[in-house]
Structure 1
Amino acid sequence: MSRRFVNLIVGHYPASTLHRINPWRCFYPTTQQALAAAENSKGFTVEDARLPRAAISFYEPLQEETPDDGEMHYASLGSSSNGIISIRPDGNTFLYDGASRSLRVMPAPHSPKYSSVFLTVGDGLYILERNPGTEEDHSFEALLHRAPSDGICFTDEKWYWRSLPPPPYAYDGYECEKVGDYEEYRRRCYERNGRDPYVIRAYTVVRDSQIWISTRDGGTFSFDTTSGVWSEAGDWALPFYDRVEYAPELGLWFGFTSEGRQLAACDLGAASPTSPPVLRKVWDELAQPLPPRWASLMAFLLPLGGGKFCVARMFHLAQKGWFRGSIHDYLEEDTFVVLTGVEVVRGSRGALRMIKHKSRRYSVGCTTADLL
């Protein structure tokens, strides 16, 4: 897999724009040049870059037409991330092909999606609500395609949505082995710390066909996309937060830690129901002190292939000013995304080493953004 672009969705109501950024501009031509630049660096440095022209605009429905129906959702489709799926709150779904610059109308899912995780397995896109409901809610669906039947020549493929069973804890009457009644356990946890113990905190794909979802207090569950069956991977939580990416050339999974949000590596393939995964390496290089007025929002890890990654971090730039009567509070001034090229290599004895390349900053204005 070699990824050519990072897809940046910038939200400006009533339209969100897709910008395709070349992440390889965040890398030096050679690893030796990156090491030499790091030695001569005097702290955190970032280049200002111009946001590429929008490849396409996705217009949202009028707010008065779809009140309380959620927001637009976007997901990449395929290993090259050339396909971008957009799902409107009313269910209308479109596929934008970045390679051919074409737009295709897709079938609508069985039910609206609100706060979901998206994973590509093979050629299919799997969507699961972070707080899944029962099977009747259609909170877990897959966008798949099948070859046409014999004798049909007017189309090359047919896309369709398949409703899938939610995790076993989503069913009424589910009981946790260690705690007892599930509903009582969930209520007590929420009253104790204000957090739902079964909201999905981390997710990934293992062994090419298994979707793993991890909860804070309820363990980790595995869904086999071949058999369509859920199982419990272990009574432990993944040591990551949000999406976890597999790097086949290194045989490891990479993501941000659940606590300090540091870049880390782990071998999930070695985990078992009784043996939780252990972080193999945690890096602090990306956690350097930020410039003044930089307020961190979120981070994304995008694999590029060959042991290289694009670390995308989103920030608010704030300025001092009047706000609610206080002269010392900050006012939001700008939102920007910083892309950093990162290379992970193995030493002579198998030890992992992270080499940081360039960092480039893209301003998106006072708005929201998402990276795919």
Structure 2
Amino acid sequence: MGSRFVNLLARSCNGGPRHFSLHRMNPANLFHPTRSAVPAVQPLADAPLPPPALSFGWPGKKGELAWMNFMAFGRTGNNFLAVDQIGRTFFYDTDSRSLRTGMPMMCKPIMDPISIAVGDSLYVMSGNPGPSPGKHCFQALIHGRLPASDTNDWSWYSLQPPPPFVNDIPRFHEDEVKSSCGDVPAPYEIGAYTVVGESQIWVSTAGAGTYSYDTVSGAWSKVGNWSLPFRGRAEYIPEHNLWFGFTPNNLQLCTSDLTASSEVRPPVLQNMWTDVVRPKNWTLRDASLVPLGSGKVCIARFFVTHSDNFEDMSAYKKRENFAVLEGVEVLKAGWAHLRMVKHKSERYVFGRDLVIPL
């Protein structure tokens, strides 16, 4: 079963009160009723941004260091968590449209995490643990019986040991290439991650290859010295028994069969589809994939307009952030090949507000 909604989050950057707002799009609007109704040329249509389903005020006072992380949650990714800079956790149930504020706090807040759902549980890891990852760099939110109680509820757990790949990365000199944060060498960054099977979380770093964490046994193991051929989170699509994601360099949609890999044989790309032609002043920032079931997916790409004249402040102030959602149907086209049918594409303009994928 796939997601019933595409969730986009916006962080206000328009000079007013700082806040976050959640916008929910119905992906059914991105598909024609039948494949025979799909026109040869797919125009890009501007769509009105739906009103926020929920808004969060900025979690700190002016001048204080503050942030919020938002994480898709649940088997279909329709629910989500919000966690602030002191570890307060808020759970939004999209089915009941209710916000639970009395959730347990994280063991320790993680500033720039990756998060991945396995079953009903959520696993959260520092996206850039560095050479000294710390005790609480890997945590899980699990629903179960509380210690010394007959009550079932959510609890945060600090998972030990921490990711072992930090010990397999050679020490780098300070003049080596830094990460986007500029505080630790790039080889410690988790460049790609996904779920394999029912219980394994695979994570890749440039410096140590790919490791697997088994959520049942709690054990880490080395998968290979190679990196996953994706950027960010890859999604398993059971209809094709393949993992779908985006290429690391130019964010093109691609697939790979991770089960065909071994310690000495890295996974290879089997399909890759190029992006549509777009105006030169559109800069692609990020992309995400939302599985919808029955071979249908929603591709979300996030852009910002730019000007070649860096001294033109008026052009800088007029830049816009927007998301382009595209409904795509992936069909079998012979052995080991797939065909992509593009349905509708819609653009949602957020102005100066920064749109964040969930």
User: Which residue of the partner structure matches residue 256 of structure 1?
Assistant: 246
Residue 86 of structure 2: aligned partner: 90
Match of 2:291 among 293, 303, 311: 303
Q: 2:156 aligns with which of 153, 156, 161?
A: 161
Contact in 1 for aligned 2:165/2:211 (Cα 8 Å): no
- Match for residue 21 of structure 2 among 17, 21, 24: 17
Superposed, 1:200-239 pairs within 5 Å as 200-239=190-229
1:156-198 CA-partner distances (Å, limit 9, x unpaired): x31001101321133xxx3x4xxxxx4xx2314x634345212
Instruction: Report SS of the residue matched to 2:172.
Output: helix
Name the % identity: 42
Give the drift of 1:20: 1.0
Q: Take 1:61 and 1:148, find their aligned partners in 2: how far apart are those partners?
A: 28
1:150 is displaced (CA, Å) by 11
Q: 1:247-269: CA deviations, max 9, x gaps?
A: 01110001011233211100001
- Pairwise CA RMSD of aligned residues? 2.3
Distance in 1, Cα, partners of 2:91 & 2:306: 36
Match of 1:187, SS?
Answer: coil
1:275–1:160 Cα change, 3 Å = same
- Could you state the TM-score of these two structures normalised by the residue count of structure 2? 0.89
SS at match of 2:254: strand
Q: 1:110 to 1:32 in 2, by over 3 A?
A: same
Alignment partners' CA distance in 1, 2:113 and 2:243: 21
Residues 315-334 of structure 1: pairs in structure 2 closer than 5 A: 315-318=303-306, 324=311, 326=312, 331-334=317-320
Alignment CA distance shift 1:237-1:348 (3 Å): closer
Look up the equivalent residue of 1:356 and give its one-letter code.
K
Counterpart residue number, 2:278 = 290
Counterpart of 1:5? 5
| 1:80, distance to aligned residue in structure 2 (A) | 2.4
Q: Tell me what 1:179 maps to.
A: none
Q: Which structure 2 residues correspond to residues 1-372 of structure 1 after superposition, within 5 A?
A: 1-12=1-12, 13-34=17-38, 37-38=39-40, 41=41, 45-64=43-62, 66-67=64-65, 69=66, 71-105=67-101, 106-132=103-129, 134=132, 136-147=134-145, 152=150, 157-164=152-159, 165-170=161-166, 174=167, 176=168, 182=169, 185-188=170-173, 191-194=175-178, 195-284=185-274, 286=275, 288-318=276-306, 324=311, 326=312, 331-372=317-358
Distance in 1 (CA, whole Å) between partners of 2:146 and 2:175 is: 52
Contact 1:313 1:338 in 2 (8 A): yes
Computing the radius of gyration from Cα coordinates, the structure with the larger value is 1
The letter of the residue matching 1:91 is: G
CA distance in 2, matches of 1:142, 1:27: 36
Gap regions ≥5 residues in structure 1? 177-181
Inter-CA distance 262–228: structure 2 relative to 1 (3 Å threshold): same
Q: Is the 8 A contact 1:90 1:112 kept in 2?
A: yes
1:32 is paired with a residue whose SS is: helix
In 1, the alpha carbon distance for the partners of 2:188 and 2:282 equals 32
Residues 316 and 271 of structure 1: CA distance in aligned 2, closer, same or farther (over 3 Å): same
Contact 2:135 2:162 in 1 (8 A): no
CA contact (8 A) 1:124 1:143 kept: yes
CA distance in 2, matches of 1:347, 1:365: 40
Paired amino acid for 2:144: R
Find the residue that maps to 1:169 and give its secondary structure. Answer: helix
Give the residue type in structure 2 aligned to 1:28: H
The runs of 5 or more residues in structure 2 that have no matched partner are 179-184
C-alpha contact (below 8 Å) 1:217/1:237 kept by paired residues: no
Distance 1:32 1:147, change over 3 A: farther
Residue type at the aligned position of 2:292: L
For residues 68 and 313 of structure 2, what CA distance do their matches in structure 1 show? 36
In structure 2, C-alpha distance between the alignment counterparts of 1:111 and 1:20, rounded to whole Å? 30
Number of equivalent positions:
345
Q: 1:291 to 1:108 in 2, by over 3 A?
A: same
